[in-house]
Structure 1
Amino acid sequence: MSASMLSGSNSARKASLFVKRGMQLLVQGNVEASLTMFENALLSDPRQKPYLWQRGLSLYYANRFAEGAVQFREDVAVNPNDTEESIWCFICEARVQGVENARKQFLEVGQDRRPVMQKAYKLFKDGGLYHEAEGNAEDAKSAILAACRTPYGLRSGDYMASLAKVHCKCRGWEL
């Protein structure tokens, strides 16, 4: 194995560790520290940039919506069936440009194999589940708190379920 291949492998491994730590920090509600870890991942291995959807989530919670949208667009460019990133891109762009403008440039994705994600995509694209994007804080709060209180939200340990709790913490909503 060549020295450059070993170096690339080392860089990818180091970047992966930074990403894992960034994810842990975001779940703990430490948005800024998570962004530092994701930036360290990029410094270690810049080739990871289009795959760092986790960074996009941290950018969103840091209110860096335009940067978040760019991150999610880059992710969908390399993973054209990525429903969640298309939705997150829409939410970021809605916060910057308004819902109608964001909807006009909604990222088209391929067929997601998960029926629930197909439905979520349609609801965001055509109207529906977007209280946060609309800036409707009361309805967003009600929906997010309800999600946190479901059995799945309470016990799953799933990264996206944890994100609902991060959302509450970032918005100052008591669970």
Structure 2
Amino acid sequence: MQYDQTLTPLLSRRLFLPSVSGIWNAITGGGGSYQEAIIAIRRGMSLFKQGDVAGSLVEFDKAIELDPRQKAYLWQRGLSLYYLDRFEEGAEQFRLDVAQNPNDTEESIWCFLCEAQLYGVDEARQRFLEVGRDSRPVMRESYGMFKDGGDPEKLVNAFLRGKEHEYFYASLYAGLYYESQNDKAAANRHIFAACQSPYGSRSDDYMAALAKVHCLCRDWSIN
């Protein structure tokens, strides 16, 4: 996962669909099932951004039925599973993704978030998926906080005057960290701040939509 390329120079995995099967598709001449799977993924992403998490999962699962190669790259499906409280399946999805992309910090964190709900924070930390060094300072700091324990307030303060996307991501992951600790009030405060931030309110980044979906799923008003 990377940031929205419309607001930063980094390319975003959220703006592209799984590519390895696409390369194979090009080599072998393509097929209707692959194209239909891509359409299903796009529908699923659109439904998720609209707040229809269950509907998004139906489309992601349909994509896998059409083209099983997609499953190993469907991090979007893992996010939907998390918000449907299907944590074991979510953790499995993120572990598959990290196996294909061993440098993806966010998928490692989301696997932890799923497993913290299943096993508790201590065991989830023992099972933590280690990945390569992230080029993004905010995600390096977030990764260290989830992996080793840390202070979410320090994370947010470190990027309070940083770039817009950095403050958004610091607030989002601070809130998610608090959720893993069952601190609902602090989770609410930081994820609400992520939603209301300039990046969170304007960006087409999938994670900006996720922050709003998080509030919807927790029955938090952001109006």
* Same fold? TM cut 0.5: yes
| Pick aligned residue for 2:198 from 151, 154, 163 | 151
Which residue identity does 1:147 align to in structure 2?
Answer: A
Q: Is the 8 A contact 1:76 1:86 kept in 2?
A: yes
| Pick aligned residue for 1:58 from 77, 80, 98 | 80
Matched residue, 2:47? 25
1:15 positional shift: 1.1
Matched residue, 2:146? 124
**34-43 vs 14-23, which moves further:** 14-23
Q: Is the 8 A contact 1:14 1:41 kept in 2?
A: yes
CA distance in 2, matches of 1:55, 1:73: 12
| Pick aligned residue for 2:131 from 109, 112, 121 | 109
Q: Is the 8 A contact 1:95 1:135 kept in 2?
A: no
The equivalences for 1:36-51 within 5 A come to: 36-51=58-73
1:12 positional shift: 2.0
Q: Secondary structure at the match of 2:31?
A: helix
Which residue identity does 2:219 align to in structure 1?
Answer: G
Query: Within the alignment, does 1:75 sit opposite 2:97 as a pair?
Result: yes
Q: Secondary structure at the match of 1:72?
A: helix
Matched residue, 1:142? 189
What is the percentage of aligned positions where both structures have the same residue?
59
| Pick aligned residue for 2:37 from 6, 12, 15 | 15
Which residue identity does 2:137 align to in structure 1?
Answer: P
Deviation readout 1:133-170 (Å, 9 max, x if unpaired): 12221111111001111111111121101100000000
Q: Which has the higher contact order (CA 8 A, sep 6+)?
A: 1
Deviation readout 1:46-88 (Å, 9 max, x if unpaired): 0111100000000000010110000000000000001000000
CA distance in 2, matches of 1:160, 1:66: 21
Q: Is the 8 A contact 1:95 1:134 kept in 2?
A: no
Q: Secondary structure at the match of 1:112?
A: coil
Q: How many correspondences in the alignment? A: 171
Query: Within the alignment, does 1:93 sit opposite 2:115 as a pair?
Result: yes
Query: Within the alignment, does 1:84 sit opposite 2:106 as a pair?
Result: yes
Query: Within the alignment, does 1:35 sit opposite 2:46 as a pair?
Result: no
Deviation readout 1:5-26 (Å, 9 max, x if unpaired): 34x5332221111111101101
CA distance in 2, matches of 1:135, 1:26: 24
**TM-score, length-scaled by structure 2:** 0.74
1:30 positional shift: 0.4
Q: Which consecutive segments of 4 or more residues in structure 1 shift more than 3 A?
A: none
Q: Is the 8 A contact 1:72 1:86 kept in 2?
A: yes
**144-153 vs 129-138, which moves further:** 129-138
